[in-house]
Chain A
Amino acid sequence: MEKRELTCIQCPMGCAITVEMDGGEVVNITGYTCNRGKIYAGKEVTNTTRTVTSSVRVTGSAKEDMVSVKTKTDIPKSKVFECAKALKGVTVQAPVHIGDVIVRDVAGTGVDVVATRNA
């Protein structure tokens, strides 16, 4: 039996929720005040995902040195650092537009990293 302690982010209450897990299965959730907290906790332990944002160098742009980027959708939390590493040394050539793909299928997640700024 594994126990995971979480802070709920659904409202400013910030309930301290405990999730008991057995072999990847949620067995019991305690500490939540409302149903939204219970749902959040269940998802947070079984399928945690995050959006990664960063910046990469751009060359040939009159106004920018860097272009900000993000994963187009959220990726598994376990892949966050791998994603950041995959952006190391990436340089793009201007012009760049919001939504342009900067790195395809980052860290094997199937998700593209896209530009969030024009340059």
Chain B
Amino acid sequence: MAEKYDIVIIGGGPAGLAAAAAAYDAGAGKILILERDRMLGGILNQCIHNGFGLHTFNEELTGPEYADRFIRKVEERKIEYKLNTMVMNMTADRTITAMNREDGMFDIEAGAVILAMGCRERPRGALNIPGYRPAGIFTAGTAQRLVNMEGFMPGREVVILGSGDIGLIMARRMTLEGAKVKVVAELMPYSGGLKRNIVQCLDDFGIPLKLSTTVVDIEGKERVEGVTLAKVDGSGKPIPGTEEHYTCDTLLLSVGLIPENDLSRQMGVEMSPVTRGPVVNESLETNLPGVFACGNVLHVHDLVDFVSEEAGIAGRNAAEYVKTGRGAGKESGIPVIAKDGVRYTVPSSIRPEFMNDRLVIRFRVGGVYRNCYISAYIGSERKIHKKCRIVAPGEMQQVILQKKDIEAAGSVENVTVCLEQE
């Protein structure tokens, strides 16, 4: 017999926790969080550095402290959760098959599902880095877990490929734990991480950041013995003659995050090829009625505060769906078009009747643009025109649309978010 819940949340990280609390506060009754790890909090548990929560709590917290705030919200509301529990399968009609040691394999029927599985790191193979395959090549996140949660050093002399935030953070962590971080190489001509991390994690320790540089060879048959870096040209190809050899026993990779949507795909959720996350409307609802998504499973964020905020919206809308069945007919909305430097938007369609007074549209740009305008058009009318000194792919952007503007515009074909020079 399948047990029934109003809302089942897949993932007990920052997105799942915030969604659960918000759904509860919006009146949802029976909520269940399924978490595959041995504790709630997700990846925040290993992000022991500070810098979380400035937007949400107006103070600088570490990852575990930020997680604890939300875990307490879930505990206070007596929201049910299961740890060490893996979701094995989900169907479009929201039947969930999950498994753990205690309950074995079991089915759950959910009134609504919130996808909050987070993301995973891109491995070396995805980059086609040539060379040997010895021990000592770790994704930055794996190294972060080993160092911060298990107290082990994965290496002494480190080269980092990729300047994503986890890589930058790990440069500092490894240095403070006694390793020598020799260089951070970044394939792109700009860093993928936040500026403050470059200053506080690299510059503070005199760690050089080499842009437009990649790893062209990995030496060492058993354990890494060295790597060769080379400059790349505009198309990302290594330039012969620019090779530089570094002796090291460790290569950390921080080369991108991929939303973890194996389950979403399995159940038939429509995916965006750009974000590799679900396509959602203004309620953060996917093409499957009653299935919502938030956090890094939807699109990779750089600030957890925005994850929590987004998850709150998903939680409230899921509660609304369960109460009223709203949107179950799948009215199609106004498409939101991303163009001229804007790579994608979340959401990607808007149903005005279900909009809140204001709607945050988040997006990333495809390159570094200086002295440009972020614009949003409702139909052909430009409603937002925001001057920016600089926008870069490493920092998520947002525009806020007003419901009254959309309603005033009447029936429009689309909403457009773009970058403009004037």
Residues on A lying within 8 angstroms of B by beta carbon are 6-9, 11-14, 33, 50-55, 57, 63-66, 68-70, 77, 80-81, 84, 98, 116-118
Contact = CB atoms under 8 A, between A and B. Distances in A.
Contacts of A14: 195, 198, 390
The winner among A50, A54, A118 for most chain B CB atoms within 10 A is A54
B390 to A, nearest CB: 5
A14 B394 CA distance: 13
A7 B148 contact: no
Interface residues of B, number: 33
Contacts of A77: 204
B21 interface: no
Given A63-B38, A98-B68, A53 B204 contact: no
B270 interface: no
The winner among A52, A63, A70 for most chain B CB atoms within 10 A is A70
A70 B151 CA distance: 15
27 contacts: A7-B198, A9-B199, A11-B389, A12-B390, A12-B394, A14-B390, A33-B389, A51-B50, A53-B49, A53-B50, A54-B176, A55-B48, A55-B148, A55-B149, A55-B151, A64-B149, A65-B151, A66-B149, A66-B150, A68-B63, A69-B48, A70-B62, A80-B204, A84-B176, A98-B65, A116-B62, A117-B65
Nearest to A71: B50
Contact of B200 (A50, A68, A116): A50
A53 B60 contact: no
B417 to A, nearest CB: 18
Pick the 8 closest A-B CB pairs, nearest first: A68-B48, A9-B196, A117-B64, A116-B62, A84-B176, A51-B50, A14-B195, A13-B390
B39 A63 contact: yes
Nearest to B191: A14
B395 interface: yes
A86 to B, nearest CB: 12
B48 A12 contact: no
B68 to A, nearest CB: 6
Contacts of B395: 12
Given A66-B148, A116-B48, 9 more contacts: A12-B392, A12-B395, A14-B195, A14-B390, A53-B50, A55-B147, A68-B62, A77-B204, A81-B176
A100 to B, nearest CB: 12
Contacts of B49: 53
Contacts of B60: 51
A57 B149 CA distance: 9
Contacts of A118: 68
Contacts of B151: 55, 57, 65-66
B389 A68 contact: no
A8 B395 CA distance: 16
Contacts of A63: 38-39
B400 to A, nearest CB: 19
A80 B61 CA distance: 18
A8 B150 CA distance: 34
A68 B149 CA distance: 8
A6 B202 CA distance: 12
A102 B45 CA distance: 19
Contacts of A9: 195-196, 199-200
A13 B200 CA distance: 16
Contacts of A8: 195
A63 B68 CA distance: 15
A98 B72 CA distance: 12
B176 A7 contact: no
Contact of A12 (B62, B63, B200, B391): B391
Nearest to B45: A117
Contacts of A13: 389-390
Interface in B303-318: none
A78 B176 CA distance: 13
B80 interface: no
A65 B68 CA distance: 18
B340 interface: no
Interface string B5-43: 000000000000000000000000000000000110000
Contacts of A64: 149
B407 interface: no
Contact of A53 (B62, B389, B390, B391): B62
Interface in B55-92: 60-65, 68
B357 interface: no
A7 to B, nearest CB: 5
Contacts of A6: 199
